[in-house]
Amino acid sequence: MHALQDIHRFMAGYRAAWQQRDPAMFAALFHPDGRYHNTPFQVQAGSAQLAEYWKRVQLQEDVQVAYEVLASAEASGIAHWHVTYRVASEELFRIWARSTGTSLPARRPGDPLPRMVLDGVLQATFRDGLCTEARIWWHSLPQPA
C-alpha cells in the first residue's frame, strides 16, 4: 500500500518531476493505468505513455513551477499552477506554436529563444496512493521581454 496521496503531495511531486525534467518521476505519480489529459482532447494512459509524453519537458531549461491547491478532498483535488521555462530548442518552439494554434512570434535569425509562461488548472483523482486521472486546462505565451 502506498502512502496516502492527496492533491498536496501530488502537486509537490508534479513540480519536482517538471523542474527536474524527469519522465520516470512523473509516471511514478500515477496508478499503472493512470490517465493524464494534457488537453481536453488528448490523453496519455499507462506508465509507458505517461513517461513518453513527459520527455518533452527535457526540451525546457530553467523550469520554475509554482502552484496553489484550490480544493482538497480525500480522493481528489484541484490546483492552480504557473510555470516558466526557457525554450531549449527551435523544435520545441515550433511544437508550442502548433499546439496553441498560433503563429511563431517575429524573430530574426540568431535571436535567442524565448522564455515561456504557462498558466493552468489541474484536477486529479487518487486511489491506492496514486493518481488515477489528472486533467489540465492551460494556456501559454512567450514571456514579454
C-alpha to C-alpha distance for 82 and 56, rounded to whole angstroms: 17
* CA distances (Å), origin 43, targets 40, 51, 71, 111, 120: 8, 13, 23, 34, 17
C-alpha to C-alpha distance for 11 and 26, rounded to whole angstroms: 11
- The per-residue pLDDT for range 8-40, each reduced to its tens digit, is 999 999 999 999 999 999 999 999 999 999 888
Cell of 65: 513551477
Q: At 3, is the pLDDT very low, low, confident or very high (cuts 50, 70, 90)?
A: very low
Q: Which of 51-55, 107-111, 133-137 has the lowest mean pLDDT?
A: 107-111
Q: What is the pTM of this model?
A: 0.85
**Secondary structure (DSSP) of 53-73:** HHGGGGGEEEEEEEEEEEEEE
74, burial (CB in 10 Å: exposed 0-12, middle 13-18, buried 19+): exposed
- The per-residue pLDDT for range 50-62, each reduced to its tens digit, is 999 998 888 888 9
* CA distances (Å), origin 119, targets 1, 29, 34, 49: 33, 21, 23, 23
Q: Amino acid identity, residue 137?
A: W
